[in-house]
Structure formats: C-alpha cells, structure tokens
Structure 1
Amino acid sequence: MTLDITIEDSRWQEAGLAPLAEQAAAAVLARFALDPEDCEISLLACGDARIAQLNADFREKAGPTNVLSWPAAELAAAEDGGDPLPPEADFTGEIPLGDIAISYDTCAREAAEAGKPLADHTRHLIVHGILHLFGYDHIRDRDAALMERLEAELLGKMGVANPYMSEDAP
C-alpha cells in the first residue's frame, strides 16, 4: 500500500502516527478485500491551525476539526443506507483513494475529554477518514448508522473499543 504520510506537526511523530495509520488503513482495505499494494492514500498530520485553514478553504466552515477527507472519486450511495460504489483502479492499475488530514490538537483534546487513549482515537479518526474516501458518510441517518457499524467492526478487529457505545450502556 502506498500510504504517503506528511507530518507537519512533530507531535504526531512522537505519538507514533505511522504504525497507527498503517494498521487502520490495512484493516479497512482488508475489510473491502482490496490488495494494499494497489491502493494509494495520502495523509497530512497537522495541527489545528492548518486543519482550520483547510476546513475554511474546502468546506467553508470556520475553525478546526478532527479529520478531513478528499476522495479521489465520488462513490457515495444514492440511497440513504446503501453501499457506496467500489473504488476502481486507474489506467496504471493503482487505486487512488484520496487524501486525509488529521489534527493533533483536536484529536488529543477529544481523546482526553473521552478518557480514551490517544492511539485508539487516532486509529478511529483514520478509519473514519478512509471510510469517507470509500464513499461512506454520516449526513443522512441510515448512512451514519452504516458508517458507525463499519467503524465499530474495524476498530474491534484492532482491539479498540466501540467509540459509539457508552460505558454506561447495558
């Protein structure tokens, strides 16, 4: 797999981002039976200032966010809760999936607020971002439920607790 990681914020280096990203990407690709050697993903590891600028430039939203994704192709399902189209190889035989940006500041803050290990939340956000590259979204209700189920399944295979289940739930 080509996972091109650009680290703009050195705190990501200290947090061990590369192996976490590789593990998350491998889990998603395995779930969809894609050969990792055929797939390309770019990951920008930055801080809140950079992701806030990207959020403003591309989503016209002020302020930072945890993760942003730019799919290489529009794969979203037409019907709420439907499966997106599968990604396809380009003329070189590779499958360009797209680009992701993740903010250290927001990720670390969210992990601390939820009492979760930073590594677990990082894997969650990378899985979330990659699922966006695959055409999954959470704008419509059934799409959100489908995406959450996939995230929980993938994270569970990595030994990460379901982020959508509260510890108080029966």
Structure 2
Amino acid sequence: MKRSVILILLTSFFIFLSFCKKEDKPVLETEKPLFEKVLSENDKIIQSLLTTEDISPDVSGLISTLNSLGEAKGGLESSALEMKNVLEGAKSSDVKISFEAYSKFSEVLAKTMKVHGLQSGRNRFYCPMVKKTWVFSGMKILNPYAPDMRDCGDLIP
C-alpha cells in the first residue's frame, strides 16, 4: 500500500514538472536582422584576427549588438545573454584567455545558428591543434587563432 502511494505521488510529481517546463519563445522577425548584425560583427572580428597576431579581439561592437538582441525579448534572448556572458572574458588583454573566451562564444553562436536555422552562409570550424572553434562565412578554412596554421581546422556540420 505504501509503495503504491509513493509511486502515485512520484508519478504525479513528474507529470507536474513536465507541465511546468518553460516554453521556448519563437524567434521574432525583429530579432533576425539583429542576429544578422551579430554574425556581421563576428565576421569583422575574424577578419581582424586573420590580419593580426597575438592581439585580443575588440569585442565591444559585438557585445553592444548582443545587448540589442537580448532587449528584443524574443526566442534569442537567452542565447544573446549566454553569448554576452561568455564573451566578457574576451575583453582580457591576455591573448590566451581572450581566445579561449572567443572560442566558447563561437560554440554558443554556432549552436544558436543551428538550433534556429540562422546560418546565413556561415559555418562552424574547429582546429584540433589549438582546440578552438570559430564561425565564419563560406567553407574555406582560415584559422584566426594560429597565424602559422591558417589552414588547420575542420568544417563542423
């Protein structure tokens, strides 16, 4: 008797939790151009990293764009906040710390693009030698983290 009551209570509790699951918000039409701006700002940073060596990326424009995306309060709000929080570490003057944070940002960006179908011709790349991820236009591998290994990396579907 006690076991069946406990089983019923546990089952009821799990059913209750499943109904309390937070519903995902849809991506708003107003968010799409803001997300495209995030991708554009990201492209600028990658271009900058490809032409410089051992310099932390300037992520201020990207953070500002992520703030705007978060303020839209749509389906990309939580992703924008996650990307912004991860990107804070990229402000470091220590290039290793900055690159690590930027790689983590790129992973969240790639996941967001995939989940919401917002690739816009951008792809995710990963270099096993430096253990870093980046998102960039096209399919050509241009590693922004290792000037001596620009062609090192893989296109990740």
Structure 2 length-normalised TM: 0.24
Q: Bigger relative contact order, structure 1 or 2, given CA contacts below 8 A and separation 6+?
A: 1
Larger Rg: 2
Q: Give the strand-richer structure, 1 or 2.
A: 1
Q: Give the helix-richer structure, 1 or 2.
A: 2
Structure 1 length-normalised TM: 0.23
